[in-house]
Structure 1
Amino acid sequence: MDQLITFAMSQSLLSTIWLFIVLMIIVMTVRIQMSPIKQLSTQQMTFLINRESGVVVDSRSEKDFKAGHIVDALHLGNDKVSKNEFSSLEKHKDNPIIIVCSAGMSAGKVASQLAKAGFTRVSLLKGGMNAWLSAGLPVTK
């Protein structure tokens, strides 16, 4: 323990950076846990689709969507998201909606905008289509 304190005092810049990184990890973990938008695994997503009539919304480009997408997924392009045009999803407002993107990184923005538009049961697929394909789950063209 004495060596740790000595190191921290002699390497204050490294210690500060390390402390900052640990703090950011804690903050991000708490934000994810407290968020109304949940991240689902492929298995959880499959259960939600089958048991509660979940609707998959693919937010990738039109080209990627046509190359292969989850069965019965609806396409919602970035142009519609930026204009908050969610009229194609209005009839699914009471159903769980799962947002899918390529790697699970940009789906959060779409999910947040849907939540602001009044969709109460919005989730996203952790890992996006990459996770879906890695799990060996079916896609259609």
Structure 2
Amino acid sequence: MNRIIVAVLLTSIWWPVLGQHTIESEQKELSKERRTILQILERQTADWNSGRVDKFMNGYWPSDSLTFVGKAGITYGYEATLANYKKRYPTRVSMGTLKFDILQLDFPAPDVAYVIGRFHLTRPKIGDADGYFTLLWRKLNNHWLIVSDHSN
């Protein structure tokens, strides 16, 4: 009987510690996923600011199912989205210098992220441009990719 009481006491002491460890592990994993997405956005900014639109697109899902919603409507597909970027920003002057401000980054599911942000293009010769965006991310084959972009 004493052994049972000791076992119950030890379990009641260690169970919350083990449970806390699990929560901490999940928070660390979430922080890792958050850092990964923010690093992708930083890389995209650097690529844009270097005039490398093709590299900027590496953050997007290379699929015909990619969606981009903008002022001109909905674009479906990676290649069509890339073509629109190149058409809308044909020169370094038109591309300007990009800056992202991330306002919200949530994970509604372990393999899904939702980002709300603001962009600003500094373009001294033709006028600055700015707006807001929402990005839906999916973790596919262990890589975070933008599957839907709504920018205005």
TM-score after normalising by structure 2 = 0.30
The answer to which structure, 1 or 2, has the higher relative contact order (CA under 8 A, 6+ apart) is 1
Q: Which structure has greater helix proportion?
A: 1
TM-score by length of 1: 0.32
Higher relative strand content: 2
Bigger Rg, structure 1 or 2: 2
